[in-house]
Amino acid sequence: MENRVNSGAIFKNNFKEKETQPDYKGTINVEGKNLEISLWIKDGQKGKFFSASVKEPYNKEEKKPIQVNNLDDLPF
């Protein structure tokens, strides 16, 4: 989903299995940069509130493991 500059969309996380996973997830565009946002519903002294986390989108291409064809090529 492409967001307009300085806007975003957040949806309920229907795949939440653990308490550590966010209640809501989405994407936001901040000054032209797309980011992922996660929200958790928390209970505080003044009632319920959202706790938020913003991070760079996960890029599977950047996380590829290094392939070593020969153990002699290892640096240790």
Whole-number Å distance between alpha carbons of 38 and 21: 9
> Encoding tokens for residue 51?
């706790």
Q: Where are the domains of the chain?
A: 1-57
Which residue, 54, 65, 67, 45, is CA-closest to 22? 54
Per-residue model confidence (pLDDT) at position 3 = 81
Predicted TM-score (pTM) above 0.85: no
pLDDT digits (tens, 9 = 90+) for 13-72: 999 999 999 999 999 999 999 999 999 999 999 999 999 999 998 887 766 666 656 666
Contacts of 24 (CB under 8 A, 6+ apart): 10, 11, 12, 13, 38, 39, 50
